[in-house]
Amino acid sequence: MTEAAAPKEHTFRAGPAAMPGLPYFGGIVRMKKDPIGYLAEASGRGPVVRLGRLGRRSFYQVNDPDLVRSVMTAPRADVGMTRTSDVLGILFGESVFTMQDEPWRKRRDELQPAFRTSNLPELFGSAAGEIARTVAQFEPVAEAGGSVDCSAALLDLLQRMIVRMMFGVAVPETAAQLSRAFDHGLEYRQRRRWSLAGLPLWCPTPANRKFHDGVARLNASIVEIIEDHRSNPPERAGLLKMLMECRDGTTGLGWTDEELLAEVKTTFVAGWLTTATAAVWLFDLLGRHPGITARVVDELDALPDDGPLTYDDLHRLTYVENTILEAMRLFPPGWLLSRRVRRPFALGDLYLRRNAVLLVSPYALHRDPAHWKDPERFDPDRFRDSTHGEAHKAAFLPFGYGPRVCIGRGVALMELKMIVATLLRRFRFTLADRAPARLQPVSFLRRAEPLILGIAPR
Ligand code: HEM
């Protein structure tokens, strides 16, 4: 612990602090209007803060890193996932993201080989061509001294990268269809999330029917790709081929189409929108901090060869990596993690009842002055030492914490390094509008307005 103050002591003898609000319901309904402001306010009130009630569920925010660690590593019988039963469960199907208990453990073990580091060079090769396409799109604009909508360009680039890494080939129409279906599904989840309104998903309301029809169409188009993949395997091994090689831990047989479908959908969304969101914030911050950008460029100029970036070059980009981590500290795409108490559970000396929902906000934890010195300052050097300079391991969790930590961390860091390195070697970007960016905390922490950057050749 290099820079931060000592962790706070916590005790609940007088019961947890509570957010003000209506009698019985508390203030949780404010989450719908201004979740970031509400969570930030709650983060200063104590190690665990009672936010209020929605229906039968009481909501708590966990702010103390020791208690965050207890929640995120609690036995599965005590604390489980909330996403198993909501819109995400139907959208993704039974995947490593939505399952829990032994089926989750088994699936995670089966999936792990596809994400091992030794597969990254293969995925690098698939993704590099897509960045080259973005460079080609930017070149004429840069020559003319124009500007680019980086939000749209990065969203498009990261979609093409994950599709290539997944399928080994481009499937533009299906990819566009996938993103439309997911946009609708995630938006539907957002609408229902902090609300008491909304009948259960099995009720045939027009909104529920529209959602289920969209999921059915999405599934049909992915099954088509899987079948096509079986009959015409692409030259380059993508994640789908690696998933097809996964073996059921019990029977030793390959996965069923249903299992493959769920994992393909999960990887597509988990690997696309999160990384695109992180990339937009990274370019926003680089635009605001020319001194830091200059250090990034110095590191790129020091690479041994000025030809196309190689996989080995990535290991030399330590300042780039620290800059990425620092951008994810300030703007973690996964801004809110949640867990459900499955049987009465002691958190510190607070006893929680079954069905209580525990919220952990990486956004609030990453900006808590109790754990980070001068938390609003963008300073990649915080991550200079090998412990990543974290105040407390559980006070920095852009990729989650504990057994459910992000399985794609290595892929995401590789993609982000590739993008920064390739684009900043070719172009100079400038941010004209320096007004603070507005946050749009939906499923991911998006930038509300598009990021427009001036662009010129280097
Ligand atoms: C910057 C990019 C990314 C960020 C910020 C991110 C963040 C996260 C976080 C916070 C979790 C834990 C959620 C929780 O505990 O409730 C998670 C889980 C997960 N992520 Fe990522 N992720 C990123 C990229 C990726 C990529 C590229 C992939 C796949 C190619 C991926 C696949 C997954 C999966 C499958 C899980 C669920 C793991 C489990 O529950 O066992 N993510 N991610």
Nearest-atom number in ligand 1 for the CA of 411 is 27
Q: How distant is the alpha carbon of residue 318 from its chain centre?
A: 21
Contact of 82 with 338, CB cutoff 8 Å = yes
Residues having CB within 6 Å of any atom of ligand 1: 96-97, 108, 266-267, 270-271, 274-275, 278, 333-334, 337, 398-400, 404, 406-408, 411-412
Most confident of 217-226, 347-356, 404-413: 404-413
Domains assigned to the chain: 1-93+337-377 (3.30.43.20)
Residue-averaged pLDDT of the chain: 87
Q: What spacing in Å lies between the alpha carbon of 277 and ligand 1's midpoint? A: 13
CA of 134 from ligand 1 middle (Å) equals: 25
pLDDT of 5 = 42
pLDDT at 392 over 50: yes
CA 34 to chain centre: 20
In whole angstroms, what is the distance from residue 17 CA to residue 153 CA?
44
Rounded Cα distance, 265 and 267, in Å: 6
Q: Which residues pair with 148 in a beta bridge?
A: 453
Averaged pLDDT, 431-449: 91
Q: Does 6 have pLDDT greater than 70?
A: no
- Which residue owns the Cα nearest ligand 1 atom 17? 406
Residue 322 CA, ligand 1 centroid: distance in Å: 19
CA of 327: how far to CAs of 296, 297, 386, in Å?
A: 13, 17, 18
Q: At what angle do helices 318-330 and 257-288 cross, to 10 degrees?
A: 100
For 85-92, what is the mean pLDDT?
74
Which atom of ligand 1 is closest in space to residue 72's alpha carbon? 15
Q: What is the DSSP letter of 271?
A: H
What's the gap in Å between 398 CA and the centre of ligand 1?
A: 9
How many angstroms does the Cα of residue 359 sit away from the middle of ligand 1?
17
Q: How confident is the model at residue 190 (pLDDT cuts 50, 70, 90)?
A: low
Listed in order, strand segments (DSSP E) in 317-418 are 337-341, 345-347, 350-352, 357-360
Mean pLDDT across 29-48 = 87
Q: What pLDDT does residue 381 have?
A: 94
Q: Which residue among 328, 406, 445 has the greatest number of ligand 1 atoms within 8 angstroms of its CB, and so is best to mutate?
A: 406
